[in-house]
Amino acid sequence: MSSPLIQQLVDAFRILPGVGPKSAQRMAYAILERQRAGGKQLAWALTEALDKVGHCKSCRTLSEDPVCRICSSTKRDASLLCVVETPADVLSIEQAGIYQGKYFVLMGHLSPIDGIGPAQLGLDLLKTKLQQAELVELILATNQTVEGEATAHYIQQMAQQADVKVSRLAQGLPMGGELEYTDSTTLSYAFKGRRELDNP
């Protein structure tokens, strides 16, 4: 039986997605046995990030600044707004290098059973963005899951009420797949092949 402090460390690692009891135990023991300096660096980096990283006031992605670099860039196309579920989705699209517009990050998807409704996804802020004259097209890039599709449908109705063209990423994205884990080539085809959505 491990000491309370070691167990506390193991339990702390288990909050990470995909980390089970054995993986958490291996991580904890690796740090304590061989990587103490690295463990201190990890603790410092984690504390710094938790203290200094917040949300962009414009798109809601994670950012050290009040407005993130993408939103503050004058080189981005303000006529295009891509709606994604997570900051990791923004990173995946940026790494693909196919899109030069701006983003809106929901930080999740509609899930009434979990208490996640329009307010939790910042849809009031999105509604304000839909009123902006320069916005021409809203690109829905929520995940191809049941929740992602329901969220996309809800936002599609909002955009069409604001008379904004709505399109959805298409080719190559499998049903049930998540944007974060999609390769750059597939994302590139998905943006090029996006289709305009009709009125529901």
Q: Which whole-number Å values give the CA distances from 28 to 3, 13, 31, 33, in the listed order? A: 12, 8, 5, 9
Do 84 and 60 belong together in one domain? yes
Question: Rounded CA gap, 155 and 60, in Å?
Answer: 16
45 and 101 share one domain: no
Q: Considering 35, 52, 69, which residue would you say is the last residue of a domain? A: 52
User: 53 pLDDT exceeds 80?
Assistant: yes
Regarding whether 186 and 98 lie in a shared domain, the answer is yes
DSSP 42: H
Q: Do 45 and 87 fall into the same domain? A: no
> Is the domain of 142 the same as that of 153?
yes
Q: Are residues 90 and 140 in the same domain?
A: yes
The answer to whether the CB of 187 falls within 8 A of the CB of 177 is no
- Please indicate, yes or no, whether the overall pTM of this predicted structure exceeds 0.85: no
Low-confidence winner among 40-44, 53-57, 87-91, 185-189 (lowest mean pLDDT): 185-189
- Tell me the pLDDT band of 30, cut-offs 50, 70 and 90: very high
Q: Helix or strand or coil: residue 16?
A: coil
Which residues are within 8 A (CB) of 79 and not within 5 positions of it... i.e. 6 or more apart?
101, 134, 135, 136, 137
Q: What is the distance between the alpha carbons of residues 168 and 179, in angstroms, rounded to a whole number?
A: 13
pLDDT of residue 165: 93
Are residues 46 and 109 located together in one domain of the fold? Answer: no
E strand map for the chain: 54-55, 62-63, 77-84, 101-105, 137-140, 165-168, 195-196
Signed CA dihedral, 19, 23, 25, 29: sign only = negative
Strand partners, 105: 84
What CATH number does the domain containing 122 carry?
A: 3.40.1360.10
pLDDT digits (tens, 9 = 90+) for 141-186: 998 888 988 999 999 999 999 999 999 886 555 555 667 767 676 6
Same domain, 13 and 92: no
Phi, psi of 92 (to 5 degrees): -60, -45
Q: Are residues 151 and 85 in the same domain?
A: yes
Q: What is the CATH number of the domain that holds 11?
A: 1.10.8.420
Domain count, the chain: 2
Is the same domain home to 59 and 155? yes
Distance CA 94, CA 72 (A): 15
At 77-108, the pLDDT tens digits run: 999 999 999 999 999 999 988 899 999 999 99
Query: Do residues 187 and 90 both lie within one domain?
Result: yes
- Give, for 162, the enclosing helix (H) or strand (E): none
Q: Which backbone phi and psi does 191 adopt, to 5 degrees?
A: -70, -45
Let me know whether 121 and 47 are in one domain. no
Structural domain including 107 reads: 55-196
Q: Is-contact 101 77, C-beta < 8 A?
A: yes
Q: CA-based Rg of the chain, rounded to a whole angstrom?
A: 20
